[in-house]
Amino acid sequence: MRLDHQHVLIVEDEFFIALDLEDSVREAGANVVGPAANVKDALALLDAETITAAILDVNLGRELSLAVAQRLEQDKIPFIYHSGQTALLGSPAWPKAPVVNKPAMPIALIAALAEAIRK
């Protein structure tokens, strides 16, 4: 799977997971935006950068990424959730998007993101 010409926002608060995601996204040919470790930084990147897709963790330490998911949906930017805490995603407040459970193999993550972009 290739993500050529994509600008992928990574929203992940765990440093080493964020580094792994960056490597996977870059190896698939995309440009990485971020990573952002909190909602404020993620929203600032959405305001400042051209984003064509995103990978979003649900739980960012002491906050949830709901505002980021809603903004991505509002801006019609395809994204996937990459999270170990998927119970919240059943709530109607959370925008629907594919979920890749942590831990995930890079090929599965990139395939899910590529599919979200194609739709």
Domains contained in the chain, CATH given: 7-118 (3.40.50.2300)
| pLDDT attached to residue 97 | 94
| pLDDT attached to residue 4 | 95
Average pLDDT for 49-65: 96
| pLDDT attached to residue 93 | 87
Average pLDDT for 43-47: 98
Reduce the DSSP state of residue 39 to 3 states and report it. helix
Reduce the DSSP state of residue 118 to 3 states and report it. helix
| pLDDT attached to residue 54 | 98
| pLDDT attached to residue 92 | 85
Q: Is the pTM of this model over 0.85?
A: yes
| pLDDT attached to residue 6 | 97
What does each C-alpha distance from 1 to 30, 114, 115 come to in angstroms? 11, 7, 9
Average pLDDT for 45-55: 97
Reduce the DSSP state of residue 72 to 3 states and report it. helix
| Amino acid occupying residue 10 | I
Question: Does position 1 have pLDDT exceeding 90, yes or no?
Answer: no
